[in-house]
């Protein structure tokens, strides 16, 4: 009788597992349509996950414990997120970010605005770790220097550059979310992501450079900034150099950010003579920035509180979903039908992209992708770094070019260019995704010596477990 009951529960779990992502998808779409906080959509999904967990036999106590466990697992991500808000505000007040932006603007012409936009956005996003802040800071001034017919191309270059930092910056909150999703330390995650971002950046740069040769226009755009290369101005960029250097030396992200806060506070107080009260106000509310008649708040603790709430809500959803096993059931059914390595790669990347397309939230899609893919890889004794590579180059990046995804929607609003118009020019996203898929396929070919032969055939190891994704 017990065996029959367990089989019935397993059959029920497999049959109705689709309702959990479906309810979440409805919640996210409703929140976007009604212009409500995306947290509301996740809470609706959480409710659906709770009902599903109860239907497969989980007790209220188990649900509450799973909810608390998911929330607690996100505390480090939330703390670092708030520290990043402080750093960005201080670096704006201390002149680090404005100096980097103005240095780049000196060199912008009609003939090079495309690849310069990509390089500037890449550099700034690596410093501040936020694509949204990068687009908000660089978008208006660069597009003001851009001929109208090049708006979609330059917007695509800006989106590409912004996602470089979102994916690989020591200041990026996505790095923390990906670490949580695949069970790696932030330092290990950052090392992997920095190592694999170089080739896509180089490819994208030369592709945009070639494109620029074909759209060279007459004339010279008047530069709106006048920056003198003095020792003092160069000193302003030292905090950024220090943070990137510490990240390369594998200093813990938490300690790195504490150093960044300390150095940023010194620069803001002594270099620009900001008062302590004024700095504290900016640390809390964000640095006020007015561009083209619109006011922005860059960084700060208060704007990050909403993002922290989103992280905690996603953690609660993740905990209860793992308890009910809905996503695992769906994933098992998908991977059980794979017969080739190519199919394994296609399903892995396709599942991650599907989460981004359906859920409408970058952080949530990263968590769901990592949590559902990781068991399939560990079951086959494959390294979790491969899962990191997959979600970093699919769920993380593709979110910027999905019009109804929150990040893609914000990109279109900030840059004032339709997502559908800039999609063809977001080449960093496509190059990173392509190189990543090829690298993953090669890794599987090296690590797995037998082909798939159906449901009964499992992967077997070729040798050591220290194979690396190139």
Please state the three-class secondary structure of the chain as a single string. Answer: CHHHHHHHHHHHHHHHCCHHHHHHHHHHHHHHHCCCCHHHHHHHHHHHHHHHHHHCCCCHHHHHHHHHHHHHCCHHHHHHHHHHHHHHHHHHHHCHHHHHHHHHHCCCCCCCHHHHHHHHHHHHHHHHCCHHHHHHHHHHHHHHCCCHHHHHHHHHHHHHHHHHHHHHCCCCHHHHHHHHHHCCCHHHHHHHHHHHCHHHHHHHHHHHHHHHHHCCCCCCCCCCCCCCCCHHHHHCCHHHHHHHHHHHCCCCHHHHHHHHHHHHHHHHHHHCCCCHHHHHHHHHHCEEEEECCEEEEECCHHHHHHHHHHHHHHHHHHHHHHHHCHHHHHHHHHHHCCCCHHHHHHHHHHHHHHHHHHHCCHHHHHHHHHHHHHHHHHHCCCCHHHHHHHHHHCHHHHHHHCCCCHHHHHHHHHHCCCHHHHHHHCHHHHHHHHHHHHHHHHHHHHHECCCCCCCCCCCCECCCCCCCCC
The pLDDT-based confidence of 253 (bands split at 50, 70, 90) is low
The pLDDT-based confidence of 290 (bands split at 50, 70, 90) is low
**Residue 113 counted as domain residue:** yes
pLDDT at 332 over 50: yes
**Residue 292 counted as domain residue:** yes
**Residue 148 counted as domain residue:** yes
pLDDT at residue 393, as a whole number: 95
**Residue 191 counted as domain residue:** yes
More confident residue, 103 or 380: 380
The structure's pTM equals 0.67
**Residue 407 counted as domain residue:** no
Q: What is the distance between the alpha carbons of residues 400 and 407, in angstroms, rounded to a whole number? A: 5
For residue 130, give the nearest of 83, 94, 76 by alpha carbon: 83
Q: Cβ distance 354 to 367 under 8 Å?
A: no
Q: Tens of pLDDT along 394-448? A: 999 999 998 767 688 778 877 878 888 889 999 999 999 999 999 999 998 887 6
Q: Tens of pLDDT along 211-251? A: 887 664 433 333 334 445 566 667 777 777 777 677 667 67
**Residue 133 counted as domain residue:** yes
Mean pLDDT of all residues in 334-358: 86
Q: What is the distance between the alpha carbons of residues 468 and 465, in angstroms, rounded to a whole number? A: 9
| Mean pLDDT of the residues in the chain | 77
Backbone dihedral angles phi then psi of residue 112, each to the nearest 5 degrees: -130, 10
* Domains contained in the chain, number: 1
- Classify the phi-psi angles of 374: left when phi > 0, otherwise alpha if psi is within -120 to 50, otherwise beta: alpha
The pLDDT-based confidence of 144 (bands split at 50, 70, 90) is low
**Residue 443 counted as domain residue:** no
Residue that is written with structure tokens 């059980």 in the block:
336
Which residue range forms the structural domain that includes residue 230?
A: 76-300
**Residue 281 counted as domain residue:** yes
CA angle 162, 167, 170 (to 5 degrees): 100
For residue 255, give the nearest of 72, 134, 79 by alpha carbon: 79
């Amino acid at each position: 009788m017990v065996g029959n009951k367990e089989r019935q529960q397993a059959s029920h779990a497999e049959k109705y597992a689709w309702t959990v992502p479906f309810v979440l998808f409805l919640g996210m779409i409703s929140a976007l349509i009604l212009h409500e906080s995306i947290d509301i959509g996740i809470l609706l999904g959480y409710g659906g996950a709770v009902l599903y967990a109860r239907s497969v036999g989980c007790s209220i106590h188990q649900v509450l414990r799973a909810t608390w466990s998911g929330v607690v697992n996100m505390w480090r991500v939330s703390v670092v997120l708030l520290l990043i808000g402080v750093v960005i505000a201080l670096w704006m007040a201390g002149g680090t970010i404005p100096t980097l932006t103005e240095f780049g603007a000196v060199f912008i012409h009609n003939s090079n605005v495309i690849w310069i936009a990509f390089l500037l956005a890449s550099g700034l996003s690596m410093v501040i770790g936020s694509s949204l802040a990068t687009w908000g800071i660089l978008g208006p001034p660069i597009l003001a220097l851009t001929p109208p017919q090049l708006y979609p191309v330059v917007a695509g270059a800006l989106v590409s550059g912004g996602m470089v930092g979102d994916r690989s910056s020591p200041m990026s909150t996505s790095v923390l979310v990906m670490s949580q999703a695949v069970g790696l330390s932030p330092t290990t995650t950052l090392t992997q992501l920095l190592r694999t971002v170089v080739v896509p950046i180089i490819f994208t740069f030369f592709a945009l450079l070639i494109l620029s040769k074909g759209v060279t226009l007459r004339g010279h755009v008047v530069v709106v900034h006048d920056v003198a290369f003095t020792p003092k101005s160069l000193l302003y960029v030292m905090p950024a150099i220090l943070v990137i250097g510490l990240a390369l030396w594998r200093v813990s992200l938490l300690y790195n950010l504490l150093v960044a806060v300390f150095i940023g506070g010194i620069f803001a107080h002594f270099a620009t003579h900001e008062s302590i009260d004024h700095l504290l106000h900016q640390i809390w509310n964000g640095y006020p920035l007015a561009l083209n008649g619109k006011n922005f708040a860059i960084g700060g603790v208060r704007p990050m509180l909403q993002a922290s709430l989103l992280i905690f809500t996603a953690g609660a959803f993740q905990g209860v979903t793992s308890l009910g096993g809905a996503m695992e059931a769906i994933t098992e059914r998908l991977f059980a039908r794979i017969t080739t390595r190519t199919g394994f790669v296609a399903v892995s990347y396709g599942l991650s992209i599907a989460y981004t397309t359906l859920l409408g939230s970058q952080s949530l899609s990263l968590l769901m992708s990592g949590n559902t893919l990781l068991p399939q890889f560990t079951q086959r004794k494959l390294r979790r770094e491969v899962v990191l590579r997959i979600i970093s180059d699919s769920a993380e990046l593709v979110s910027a070019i999905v019009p109804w995804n929150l990040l893609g929607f914000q990109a279109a609003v900030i840059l004032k260019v339709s997502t559908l118009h800039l999609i063809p020019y977001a080449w960093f996203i496509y190059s990173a995704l392509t190189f990543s898929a090829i690298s993953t396929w090669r890794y599987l070919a090296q690590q797995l010596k037998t082909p798939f032969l159906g449901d009964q055939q499992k992967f077997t190891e070729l040798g050591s477990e220290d194979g690396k994704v190139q």
